[in-house]
Chains A and B, each alone.
Chain A
Amino acid sequence: GIQVEQSPPDLILQEGANSTLRCNFSDSVNNLQWFHQNPWGQLINLFYIPSGTKQNGRLSATTVATERYSLLYISSSQTTDSGVYFCAVGPYNTDKLIFGTGTRLQVFP
């Protein structure tokens, strides 16, 4: 089955810093989502981005489907950005969403 790897596994930042999270996947997909899981377990939708670039405030994402990777950029990080960031991919012709290994982000004041 498709493999989804995220890097780095852990990231510690001071407030105000910028960061880039990476998601590599092993096969073609027709769905790619980025989520932020808060400390209470809620998965918050950040981007639906099977290809191209999108921006939402301090966050932006780029997916290069032909090279099988996606990047999530966080600028001017805040303590509320702490949590786990997951990318999840959907293989072609399936309803499955396969989650990556996650990046745990801690932002300190």
Chain B
Amino acid sequence: DTEVTQTPKHLVMGMTNKKSLKCEQHMGHRAMYWYKQKAKKPPELMFVYSYEKLSINESVPSRFSPECPNSSLLNLHLHALQPEDSALYLCASSQVPGGLYEQYFGPGTRLTVT
């Protein structure tokens, strides 16, 4: 089973709201990732967690706050977002960190900021 799940599927939030995106995998993978995909563009890496520790932050604004409470869960906390943050947010996982293993993606959360 190579399933990564994400909730919610869709989210509409105002610029003053606080919300969270959730990602879960039960494959025993120890690397987890957040990507952002704008319309008609390729996904872009935001964060990487290796063994539950943040290892890469691609200069993402602080209004995006990642959290990895355990090896199966990855959250992305959202606060004071801008309309240009509207995008598809994708979570992924791979067996171990280091870039030598396949990444598997969840179905994504489609976020609209009004």
Contacts and interface: CB of A to CB of B under 8 A. Distances in A.
Given A41-B108, A42-B107, A96 B45 contact: yes
A48 B104 CA distance: 11
Contact of B99 (A45, A95, A100, A102): A95
Given A98-B45, A99-B42, A99-B43, A93 B107 contact: no
How would you classify the secondary structure of chain B's contact residues: helix, strand, loop or mixed? strand
The interface size bin for chain B is 20 to 34
Contacts, number: 63
30 contacts: A30-B99, A31-B100, A33-B103, A35-B105, A40-B107, A41-B107, A41-B108, A42-B105, A45-B102, A45-B104, A86-B42, A86-B43, A90-B99, A91-B99, A92-B99, A93-B99, A95-B33, A95-B50, A95-B55, A95-B56, A95-B94, A95-B98, A95-B99, A96-B56, A96-B99, A97-B33, A97-B99, A99-B42, A99-B43, A102-B42
